Amino acid sequence: MTDDPVTRAHAMEFSDDVPANASANPTMGDVIAARFGRRDLMKGIMAATAIGATLGPLALASARGTRAAAGSFGFTELEAGVDATHHVAPGYRAEVLIRWGDPVVAGAPEFDPAAQSAEAQSRQFGYNNDFVAYFPIDGSSEHGLLVVNHEYTNEELMFPGVGVQKKKDDFAGMTKALVDIEMAAHGGSVIEIRKENGRWRVVRDSPYARRLTLQTPMEMSGPAAGHPRLVTSYDPTGRRVLGMVNNCAGGKTPWGTWLSAEENFHGYFRGELGEDHPEARNYRRYGVPGNWYAWGKFHDRFHIDREPNEANRFGWIVEIDPFDPASTPKKRTALGRFKHECATPIVNADGRVVVYMGDDQRFDYIYKFVTAGRFDPADPAAARDLLDEGTLYVARFDADGTMEWMPLVFGRGPLTPENGFESQADVVIEARRAADLLGATKMDRPEDVEPNPKTGRVYAMCTKNKKRKKGDENPANPRSENRWGHVVEMIPPDGDHTASTYRWEILLLCGDPTIAEVGARFSSATSKDGWFANPDNCAFDAEGRLWIATDGNNARFTGRADGLWAVETEGELRGTSRHFFRCPAGAEMCGPEFTPDGRTLFLAVQHPGDDGEEWPEFGRTSTFEDPSTRWPDFRDGVPPRPSIVVVTKEDGGPIGS
């Protein structure tokens, strides 16, 4: 989720706010401008007919009509703001379930921030918990497995006496021992949880418990497996890789496995390839090396001069069996290599499985993957390799309100040897460049892309794009330097997710609707606490209602913290947003995830205490010794700890009712 590391004290000095897409493909702004007329847009004329056509006919209902309508959410809205702790809507309970450093596997030690080690961390809950998924045991909504991604690390908040490490100083304060702890804090966790007497708890010493780290053996599968571009000095087969990195969001398959999405893998590499190197063009398109960390100083695999193919082994969707801790995770290369935010499957009416994905960078693309085979719910085990064969598509949004899914298939169109593609392996390894050549639409950081299981409509969270220049103003982004983001709604015909042509609309233009120059568009029934900026993750509850989590909605920018909002997508209140959960200062909201009965909501609070200078009340960089908050422990000497929060209703009813 964190595409822009300048938002982290860890990486203040080297921003990732540099788009890597140099293609001439149209941006979403170009598409909207073509649809409604660039001259009128440039004059600032945003006629009601144009806005209505873009947002959909129900998004701009009158104030009188929307305020009189009954919405699908029944909770009392939370007040927006920012302070050192978390808050939830009245009538709800929000409790910490597990924190960074808590034991996961049997025999793991208790967390001691002053005596950390890689060996201990490899058995404890990792850092910066992101994606969360619940897998029921025996169909229960009160007993199951929780899987969690651990995206990245903040050394200035993790380690005593280290402070912010800078690229210009070559990360002088980092040692191999600290780097190895960081590597162990990445990856993922599987924990068993149970609800007893109205409270959730972690089942200690569970046989299901597992930590995945940068040392966990994984298998490459699909068209790129075994290709020479994946071969390294320690893996001459090109089929085995150690670990996964920068795992952001993900998904759950219908057959009960966990999809974990590798996002900003480029940031972990250092070194320099000459322009004559065979991978130079490929790595430039992905921003490799990003040089965010000191890992390459101590581990050759993260130094591209020494292992020039290693970066090709990251940036994939990883499939993991949460019920078998001895199983080998598989990187499913058929789904393409890019900065994956998510991988959200839905079973189409014909049994094929469609996986939606976003490439989380400014001016990059939205994708889907359609399996060749079909899922049989009576034989879920037969689907275990379903994601190895199928067709990868990239989206082009057209000015007439339709969108086209274009196949990334070797030999079709420009994906030929003349353009440097010798096989489907090359197409998936360089999925971005393949999409460039097909003319995909440049988006404003597409993050989570999720289908509503009730309506079949698909929602893409476009977080922001500060690089949009003056002159690109349009109904989809009616401002230069789009700092607020928006939500795109995609409508497959008759609910057919394998179709090549959809319709599209804009559900929300985010930001403060009381400031005219922001150009935000919510329903007029949205309160002063209900608007938000920077949509990131989303989820649908048991009733098919949309919940949106934010990243970047920080104190200096909006006067409020990141959190969770409930959003109406149907009826007269379409486009109305209500504030439900508020993060502590500096934290990003991740997850969210509901139990099947809708009575429990799991949320991931990531990097609490980060960006201390962005909270005026604190106004300086947070460190281990001097954090802007010590959430959730609030004990001297204990740093802020990324944590999973479990939300239940005090009367035991469904969340949001």
pLDDT recorded at residue 17: 53
pLDDT recorded at residue 360: 96
pLDDT bucket at 122, cuts 50 / 70 / 90: very high
pLDDT recorded at residue 250: 98
pLDDT recorded at residue 55: 43
Position 100 pLDDT exceeds 90: yes
Return the closest-CA partner of residue 249 out of 357, 395, 99.
357
pLDDT recorded at residue 470: 79
pLDDT recorded at residue 623: 97
**Can you tell me the mean pLDDT for 173-200?**
97
Two tokens, residue 169? 């100083």
pLDDT bucket at 478, cuts 50 / 70 / 90: low
The domains of the chain are located at: 61-213+510-657
pLDDT recorded at residue 69: 54
Calculate what percentage of the chain has a pLDDT beyond 90: 83
pLDDT bucket at 517, cuts 50 / 70 / 90: confident
**Can you tell me the mean pLDDT for 624-649?**
98
Position 2 pLDDT exceeds 70: no
**Can you tell me the mean pLDDT for 95-119?**
98
pLDDT bucket at 67, cuts 50 / 70 / 90: very low
* Gap between the Cα atoms of 416 and 315, Å rounded: 23
pLDDT recorded at residue 310: 98
**Can you tell me the mean pLDDT for 527-542?**
97
Q: pLDDT tens digits for 130-144?
A: 999 999 999 999 999
pLDDT bucket at 20, cuts 50 / 70 / 90: confident
In this structure, what DSSP letter does residue 545 have?
-
List the beta strands (DSSP E) in 137-227: 143-150, 187-196, 199-202, 210-212, 217-221
* Gap between the Cα atoms of 192 and 357, Å rounded: 28
pLDDT recorded at residue 479: 57
pLDDT recorded at residue 1: 56
pLDDT recorded at residue 467: 87
Q: pLDDT tens digits for 262-311?
A: 999 999 999 999 999 999 999 999 999 999 999 999 999 999 999 999 99
Residue type, 521: R
More confident residue, 211 or 62: 211
More confident residue, 52 or 628: 628
**Can you tell me the mean pLDDT for 320-332?**
98
Position 11 pLDDT exceeds 60: no
Q: pLDDT tens digits for 490-508?
A: 999 999 999 999 999 999 9
* Gap between the Cα atoms of 122 and 283, Å rounded: 30
The 8 Å CB, 24+ separation contacts for 229-232 are 229/279, 229/309, 229/312, 229/425, 229/426, 229/429, 230/309, 230/312, 230/313, 230/429, 231/309, 232/301, 232/307, 232/309, 232/310, 232/313
pLDDT recorded at residue 46: 34
Pick from 41-50, 56-65, 643-652: least confident: 41-50
* Gap between the Cα atoms of 538 and 611, Å rounded: 23
State the chain's mean pLDDT as an integer.
90
Q: pLDDT tens digits for 582-600?
A: 999 999 999 999 999 999 9
Position 614 pLDDT exceeds 60: yes
pLDDT bucket at 9, cuts 50 / 70 / 90: very low
pLDDT recorded at residue 22: 75
pLDDT bucket at 411, cuts 50 / 70 / 90: very high
Position 51 pLDDT exceeds 60: no
Position 54 pLDDT exceeds 90: no
List the beta strands (DSSP E) in 237-365: 240-242, 247-252, 258-262, 317-320, 330-332, 344-347, 352-358, 362-364
- The DSSP bridge partners found for residue 340 are 359
Pick from 256-265, 360-369, 472-481: least confident: 472-481
- Phi, psi dihedral angles at 22 (to 5 degrees): -95, 5
Position 188 pLDDT exceeds 90: yes
Position 382 pLDDT exceeds 80: yes
User: 272-294 burial, b for 16+ CB within 10 Å, e for fewer?
Assistant: ebeeeeebeebbebbbbbbbbbb
pLDDT recorded at residue 21: 77
